[in-house]
């Protein structure tokens, strides 16, 4: 699996990556979802495998081919993603939460398709909070040396919001992207800043998602050794 000249600096390590976006069902045919393509998480999985890691990729609704040599665990909802991530994290050296996890899910699931009724306004959809998986993994490290990485897409005050989110989640690294109309979702390219709990700030210039993935693993590998 080695790429030309690339260090096997993750050999012997187990890394867990979540990718894609969760879907929260309303009824058998409808869901609340988001625009995450899964491309960044899959790039992280390919990069980690190329650097020698054993990789578990918890994939939420990503229509992408399984990366070679990677253990792919498909999930649908945030609750399913939590189960799969916590299970895989038990013996992981690093956990990277690249998935877009729905903050809320419909309070009730209708076993039959919701129908409209003549002359009636639609009922509002009641939502409840989903568990915060990143905060849970970071707050309950299965191994003291485990490195926990989050992602955040922000539209305003990107760095200030990123710093606050890093502290709130308790993770070691937070990859912060600025999102807008044409930026990030579904694209092949990304631009980001990786914030460290140690105060570090690593800018990643606009470029392929593979380059951002490699920078994330550089920072993780430095914290593992
Ligand atoms: N995340 C998570 N569980 C959730 C929500 C988010 O694990 N229920 C993770 C994401 O995978 C990501 C990080 O937390 O790595 C930041 O997600 P983001 O949506 O930016 O953070 P939130 O705390 O949900 O803040 P916001 O209100 O800005 O959406
Ligand atoms: Ca959120």
From the list 223, 47, 85, 209, the residue with the least C-alpha distance to 146 is: 223
pTM: 0.95
* Average pLDDT value for residue range 35-49: 96
Cα distance between residue 24 and residue 9, in whole Å: 37
pLDDT in tens, 130-179: 999 999 999 988 677 999 999 998 988 999 999 999 999 999 999 998 87
Mutate to test the pocket of ligand 1, among 41, 84, 101 (most ligand atoms within 8 A of CB): 101
Site to substitute for ligand 1 among 18, 59, 150, most atoms within 8 A of C-beta? 150
Task: Give me the pLDDT at residue 143, please.
Answer: 73
Residue 183 binned pLDDT confidence (cut-offs 50, 70, 90)? low
Surrounding ion ligand 2 within 5 Å at CB are: 103
**What residues are annotated to the active site?**
34
Check whether 93 has a pLDDT greater than 60: yes
Q: By the 8 A CB rule, do 12 and 52 touch?
A: yes
What is the interface pTM, i.e. ipTM, of the complex? 0.99
Cβ(196)–Cβ(202) below 8 Å = yes
Report the pLDDT value the prediction gives residue 201, as an integer from 0 to 100.
96
pLDDT at 3 over 80: no
Q: Residue 1 above 80 pLDDT?
A: no
Half-sphere exposure of residue 184, counting CA atoms within 13 Å on the CB side?
23
Which ligand 1 atom minimizes the distance to the CA of 150? 15
**Among 135, 157, 153, CA closest to 192:** 153
Cβ distance 153 to 180 under 8 Å? Answer: no
In the numeric block, the tokens 């990123």 are attached to 162
Distance CA 154, CA 158 (A): 6
Give the pLDDT score at 2.
46
214 three-state secondary structure:
helix
């Amino acid at each position: 699996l080695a790429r030309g000249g690339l260090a096997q600096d993750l050999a012997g390590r187990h890394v867990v990556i979540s990718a894609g976006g969760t879907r929260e069902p309303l009824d058998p045919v409808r869901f609340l979802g988001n625009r995450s393509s899964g491309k960044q998480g899959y790039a992280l999985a390919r990069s980690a495998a190329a650097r020698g890691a054993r990789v578990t990729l918890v994939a939420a609704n990503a229509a992408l081919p399984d990366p070679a040599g990677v253990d792919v665990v498909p999930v649908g909802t945030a609750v399913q993603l939590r189960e799969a991530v916590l299970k895989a994290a038990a013996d992981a050296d690093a956990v990277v939460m690249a998935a877009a996890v729905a903050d809320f899910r419909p309070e009730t699931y209708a076993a039959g398709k919701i129908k409209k009724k003549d002359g009636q306004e639609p009922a509002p959809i009641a939502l409840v909070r989903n568990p915060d998986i990143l905060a849970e993994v970071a707050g309950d490290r299965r191994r003291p040396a485990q490195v926990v990485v989050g992602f955040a897409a922000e539209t305003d005050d990107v760095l200030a919001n990123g710093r606050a989110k890093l502290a709130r989640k308790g993770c070691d690294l937070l990859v912060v992207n600025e999102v807008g109309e044409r930026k990030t979702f579904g694209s092949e390219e990304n631009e980001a800043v990786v914030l460290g709990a140690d105060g570090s700030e690593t800018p990643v210039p606009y470029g392929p998602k593979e380059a951002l993935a490699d920078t994330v693993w550089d920072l993780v590998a430095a914290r593992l050794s």
